[in-house]
A and B are shown apart, each in its own frame.
Chain A
Amino acid sequence: AQSVTQLDSHVSVSEGTPVLLRCNYSSSYSPSLFWYVQHPNKGLQLLLKYTSAATLVKGINGFEAEFKKSETSFHLTKPSAHMSDAAEYFCVVSDRLKAAGNKLTFGGGTRVLVKP
């Protein structure tokens, strides 16, 4: 079984300051982990993914995440927030097992507000 917990439902940051979105996962197998972003009335966009290569993963728009197996965490960070980063962010897990069929399990989401 797999599950994801996003520790903050809302995060508010000032433009130009760092962003940290926290995610903990549970997986019966060696997982793959993803971060997706969803802007209002827009589709889901993949930010980055971890699939057992380097534990520090770089994504689009300056985002990166670090896989920490000992802490079962996959936190998302960005050094400097931009107004366009205001959106909903989802941490996602998938058991890397063929029988799981690429099923994605989403966290509850973190809404990011960026203040000028």
Chain B
Amino acid sequence: EAGVAQSPRYKIIEKRQSVAFWCNPISGHATLYWYQQILGQGPKLLIQFQNNGVVDDSQLPKDRFSAERLKGVDSTLKIQPAKLEDSAVYLCASSYNEGLHYGYTFGSGTRLTVV
């Protein structure tokens, strides 16, 4: 079974630039999550999708971050404009709709450096 695919693996941008990350979840997983992991901290949930609808985006900085999952499969997370404090690893995860933690799988992440 293929895992959660994320791209790019690494990205370096200057502050005030824009950046986008892509995630393709495991086939059949209805739920998709984006987490932000700042160096030295645990991952923090940014947004959760159920199919193509948003379940929880309470910790997403909506003035600069946006995410979409138009067809209920893959997803993109965008930052515009980026700030220095956005430097982090952005993790995508997916799970089956039913059952707690059933099939919950993380991707390898995208490491963003803002200079």
**Which A residues fall within an 8 A CB radius of B?**
4, 32, 34, 42-44, 46, 49, 51, 90, 92, 94, 96, 101-109
Give complex CA distance A55, B107 in Å. 29
Structural contact, A43 and B41, CB atoms closer than 8 A: no
Asked if B71 lies at the interface with its beta carbon under 8 angstroms from chain A, I say: no
Q: How far is the CB of A113 from chain B (nearest CB, A)?
A: 15
Cβ of A107 and Cβ of B42 under 8 Å apart?
yes
Beta-carbon contact of B56 and A43 below 8 Å: no
B60 CB to nearest A CB, Å: 13
* Contact of B100 (CB < 8 Å), options: A43, A94, A107, A109: A94
* Structural contact, A94 and B101, CB atoms closer than 8 A: yes
Binding site for A on B (CB under 8 A): 31, 33, 40-45, 48, 50, 55-56, 91, 95, 100-101, 104, 106-109
User: By the criterion CB–CB under 8 Å, are B101 and A102 in contact?
Assistant: yes
Q: Are B106 and A109 in contact (CB under 8 A)?
A: no
Interfacial chain B residues near A49, Cβ < 8 Å: 101
How far is A108 from B40 in the complex, measured between Cα atoms in Å?
Answer: 8
Q: Which of B33, B45, B109 contacts A43 (CB 8 A)?
A: B109
Cα–Cα distance between A44 and B50 once the two chains are bound (Å): 22
Closest Cβ–Cβ distance, residue B48 to chain A (whole Å)? 6
- In the docked arrangement, what's the CA distance between A92 and B104, Å? 13
CB-CB nearest in chain A for B107 = A43
Expressed in whole angstroms, the Cα–Cα distance for A49 and B99 within the complex equals 14
Cα–Cα distance between A42 and B91 once the two chains are bound (Å): 11
Q: Are A101 and B55 in contact (CB under 8 A)?
A: yes
Report yes or no: A106 in contact with B101, Cβ–Cβ below 8 A: no
Query: What A residues does B56 contact at CB under 8 A?
Result: 101, 103
Alpha-carbon distance between A44 and B100 when the two chains are bound, in angstroms: 18
Q: Which residues of B contact A43 (CB under 8 A)?
A: 91, 106-109
Cα–Cα, bound, A67→B55 (Å): 29
Distance in angstroms between the alpha carbons of A102 and B94 in the assembled complex: 10
Chain A neighbourhood of B100, CB < 8 A = 32, 51, 94, 96, 102
